[in-house]
Amino acid sequence: MDSNTPLPNGTSEVVLRAKKLNVYYGSNRAVRDVDLDISENTVVAFIGPSGCGKSTVLRCFNRMNDLIAAARVEGSITFRDDDIYAPNVDAVELRSRIGMVFQRPNPFPKSIYENIAFGARINGYKGNMDELVEQSLRKAALWDEVKDKLKQSGLALSGGQQQRLCIARAIAISPEVILMDEPCSALDPISTLKVEELIQELKQQYTIIIVTHNMQQASRVSDHTAFYNAEATEKGNKIGYLVEYDRTEVIFQNPAQQKTQEYISGRFG
């Protein structure tokens, strides 16, 4: 079998741990036997060819897969030692602790201010809303660009600004983990750079998992990298699995697996 062992990490605490994670869509298994530990205040990159289940695994961590009727999750995921798929766990509460940023910026068709305030309000935020909006926008490096037009629509911003607005919206509710699914794939290089700088900033406070197709991005922003691949089954569909998970330098300079070496050197995928 593959060396898909969780990353041994001496010091910091494990925030999320997947064990024998299998995800099915209907009768198709999309991902098999993923074992993975995510430690506190690290940035973990998920890389691998399209369709190998990166988004699927990512969505397991905040139970967004619950919203897909056909999706079924087996195995376990623990968040600070609590099984998040246990029957008594409230997915709504979980999602307020594990935020998500999507591939395409999806600001609400409301004002910039309201985009940030919405999450805070529904989660019962009792503090000063104006301050929270400003803080969140500052953390997302967007404040200077929008401070004079908070009442304008979030949709009137550029794609890169919209994505930072979505990040601001996610951090406004102080999650412990932020999941990002190819957050820069719809952005131009300058916006991408800004988001990357932002991720570096956010790392001080949050644990981040980022799916990316951009090798440079993975090596620039992440501490650890998980490489996924897919293999065809007899039935003709593909099953994704975790090939190798290690410190990012190791994955990019000295991977243990042949497949990883081939992928990062651009020989397939």
Ligand X SMILES: Nc1ncnc2c1ncn2[C@@H]1O[C@H](COP(=O)(O)OP(=O)(O)O)[C@@H](O)[C@H]1O
- Cβ closer to ligand X: 53 or 119? 53
122 lies in the binding site for other proteins (CB under 8 A): yes
Phi-psi region of 247 (alpha: psi -120 to 50; beta: other; left: phi over 0): beta
Neighbours of 22 (CB within 10 A): 16
Neighbours of 120 (CB within 10 A): 19
Residues 138-157: x where in contact with other proteins by CB under 8 A, - otherwise, as a string: --------------xxxx--
Among 70, 92, 122, 256, binds ligand X (CB under 6 A): 70
Shortest CB 155 distance to ligand X, Å: 25
Tokens 């131009």 map to which residue? 188
- With CB under 8 A as the contact rule, which of the stretches 79-87, 108-116, 198-206, 233-241 interacts with other proteins? 108-116
Residues 36-75: x where in contact with other proteins by CB under 8 A, - otherwise, as a string: --------------------------x-x--x-x------
All residues at 6 or more sequence positions from 118 whose CB lies less than 8 Å from its CB, including other chains: 108, 110, 169
- With CB under 8 A as the contact rule, which of the stretches 87-95, 130-138, 216-224, 258-266 interacts with other proteins? 87-95
Number of H helices, E strands in the chain: 10, 10
Residues 29-68: x where in contact with Mg ion by CB under 5 A, - otherwise, as a string: --------------------------x-------------
Which of Mg ion, ligand X, other proteins, none interacts with 111 (beta carbon under 5 to 8 A by kind)?
other proteins
Count of residues engaged in binding other proteins, rule: CB under 8 A: 32
User: In sequence order, which ranges of the chain are alpha helices (DSSP H)?
Assistant: 54-61, 91-97, 112-122, 129-139, 143-146, 159-171, 189-202, 215-221, 248-253, 258-264
Shortest CB 100 distance to ligand X, Å: 13
Residues 230-249: x where in contact with other proteins by CB under 8 A, - otherwise, as a string: --------------------
92 lies in the binding site for other proteins (CB under 8 A): yes
Among 3, 13, 109, 159, binds other proteins (CB under 8 A): 109
Q: What is the 3-state secondary structure (H, E, C) of 173-239?
A: CCCCEEEEECCCCCCCHHHHHHHHHHHHHHCCCCEEEEECCCHHHHHHHCCEEEEEEEEECCCCCEE
99 lies in the binding site for other proteins (CB under 8 A): yes
Q: Give the Cα separation of 76 and 118 in Å (integer).
A: 31
Residue closest to 71 by CA, chosen among 26, 38, 124, 17? 26
Shortest CB 237 distance to other proteins, Å: 23
b (16+ CB within 10 A) / e for 163-174: bbbbbbbbbbbb
Residue type at position 254: N
Sites of contact with other proteins (CB under 8 A)? 62, 64, 67, 69, 92-97, 99-100, 102, 104, 106-111, 118-119, 122-123, 152-155, 166, 169-170, 173
Sites of contact with Mg ion (CB under 5 A)? 55
